[in-house]
């Protein structure tokens, strides 16, 4: 039962006006607007707003999430800005279905610390000066390659339509719980040999990335947020059974969404 709703809103005028209108309508329909412990998180904005909501709520598997699109693309945003009456009606009738979307878990180990982070879309691993970086990539302790190039991107199925797509990665149906390793400007010559395409890895497989000298300074970008790490020993990434629950229209179809957002 959804009763308590928290709204996560972008800071532009359109989103803020929509938020005011939405709060009024939700309260008229006996929902309670809360700042924490919500049953449902609603992100008003684009995909970035959705990603920020998921991060702010710490990838909470217990609650439901939905987005209202006032952004530019809004691939994740299920509700159109003009359709908030329809949104409330569907909430009242319990008419949404749930899609379980997998979350990427990342562990970053440096000389001095070990940090665990979640991502919904993706992680890019690059040299902190954006120079060529050499990374040993292993999957389940099997060597895939000694990567040489700008870096790599590891994306979830959900993130496959984001940065991954711009680097020539594959679109993956969101109902599949995979990770995808996509090279960023891989070098290829008689000296270096790299996979030029993405490789898709099943759930539970563990990707380990080790800088060559065991001490590279890296920029690790997680869902669009840059973090700098000195002397990185290893970055470990995997999708296990951690999921978030997204509300979807009854007739939601991933192929339709790809067609609508990228091809129409």
Range 45-64, binding Mn ion (CB under 5 A): 46, 48
For position 64 contacting ligand NAP by CB under 6 A, the verdict is no
Query: Which of 182, 208, 211 is CA-nearest to residue 196?
Result: 182
Site pattern 205..224 for ligand NAP (x: CB under 6 A): ------------------xx
Indicate the pairing of strand 114-119 with strand 79-80. Answer: unpaired
**Is 47 assigned a catalytic role?**
yes
Of 39, 47, 223, 256, which one is the catalytic site residue? 47
User: Does 159 engage in binding with Mn ion (CB under 5 A)?
Assistant: no
Long-range contacts of 54-61 (CB under 8 A, 24+ apart): 54/120, 54/244, 55/118, 55/120, 55/223, 56/8, 57/6, 58/118, 59/103, 59/118, 59/120, 59/242, 59/244, 60/244, 61/242, 61/243, 61/244, 61/245
Residue 74 touches ligand NAP, criterion: CB under 6 A: yes
For Mn ion, give the closer residue by CB, 119 or 210.
119
Whether the CA torsion 226, 238, 118, 18 is positive or negative: it is positive
Q: Is 41 in the site for Mn ion (CB under 5 A)?
A: no
DSSP 71-83: SSS-SS--EEGGG
Residue placing its CB nearer to Mn ion in the complex, 69 or 194: 69
Among 38, 99, 122, 216, binds ligand NAP (CB under 6 A): 122
**Residues at the contact surface with Mn ion, assessed by CB under 5 A:** 46, 48
**Residues at the contact surface with ligand NAP, assessed by CB under 6 A:** 46-48, 51, 71-76, 121-122, 158-159, 161-163, 166, 223-224
Question: Would you please indicate which residues are annotated as catalytic (active-site) residues?
Answer: 47
């Amino acid at each position: 039962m959804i009763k308590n709703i928290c709204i996560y809103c972008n800071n532009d005028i359109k989103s803020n006006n929509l938020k005011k209108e939405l709060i009024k309508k939700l309260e008229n329909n006996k929902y309670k607007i809360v700042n924490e412990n919500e049953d449902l998180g609603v992100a008003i904005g684009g995909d970035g707003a959705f990603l920020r909501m998921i991060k702010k709520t710490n990838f909470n598997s217990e609650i439901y999430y939905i987005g209202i699109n006032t952004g530019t693309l809004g691939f994740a945003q299920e509700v159109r800005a003009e359709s908030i009456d329809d949104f409330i009606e569907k909430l009242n009738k319990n008419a949404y279905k749930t899609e379980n979307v997998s979350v990427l878990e990342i562990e970053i180990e440096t000389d001095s610390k070990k940090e665990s982070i979640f991502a919904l879309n993706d992680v890019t691993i690059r040299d902190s000066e954006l120079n060529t970086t050499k990374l040993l990539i292993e999957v389940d302790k099997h060597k895939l390659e000694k990567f040489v190039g700008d870096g790599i991107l590891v994306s979830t199925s959900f993130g496959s339509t984001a940065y991954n797509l711009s680097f020539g990665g594959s679109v993956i149906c969101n109902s599949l719980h995979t990770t995808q390793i996509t090279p960023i400007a891989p070098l290829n010559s008689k000296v270096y040999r790299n996979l030029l395409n993405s490789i898709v890895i099943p759930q539970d497989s563990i990707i380990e990335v080790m800088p060559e000298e065991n001490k590279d300074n890296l920029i690790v970008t997680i869902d669009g947020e840059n973090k700098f790490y000195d002397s990185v020993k290893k970055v470990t990434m995997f999708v296990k059974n951690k999921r978030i629950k997204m509300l979807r229209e009854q007739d939601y179809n991933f192929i339709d969404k790809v067609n609508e957002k990228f091809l129409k």
